[in-house]
Amino acid sequence: MNNVTRWDIVVKLTHWIVALLFLANYFVTHAGSITHQWIGYTLVGVVVVRLLWGCVAKPPARLSSFLPSVPKAIKHVLEVIQTRTDEHQGHNPAGAIMIWCMWCGVPGAVGLL
């Protein structure tokens, strides 16, 4: 693949903030503590910021660039198995499903869904 995806600063920041806050909440805080709760609410806020950014950002960060599709994901996985290559700018179809599941899972884990 010749084109290298360069994610914008909002995508990079939201990615790493979510990752670090999740790890802090899982390994450092005590379940149910005030700190644990506020980290959870902050995680939801960061995910909302990312989703809002995805409505106005340019591809590949734009949400419409990687809408989830089970048939496309299955086709993609079969192609990767056959060709041993993955030629996608941004998230591939299988990765798109994973990303959307995570975005729904964070608010769900906080109990907002």
Number of helices and strands (H, E) in the chain? Answer: 4, 0
pLDDT for the residue 109:
73
- Report the percent of the chain where pLDDT is more than 70: 92
What pLDDT score was predicted for residue 4? 65
pLDDT for 107 equals 73
pLDDT at 106 over 90: no
Check pLDDT > 70 for residue 80.
Answer: yes
* Cα gap 113→103, rounded to integer Å: 11
Supply the mean pLDDT for the chain.
Answer: 87
pTM reported for the whole predicted model: 0.77
pLDDT digits (tens, 9 = 90+) for 19-60: 999 999 989 999 889 999 999 999 989 999 999 999 999 998
The contacts of residue 94 (CB under 8 Å, 6+ apart) are: 73, 76, 77
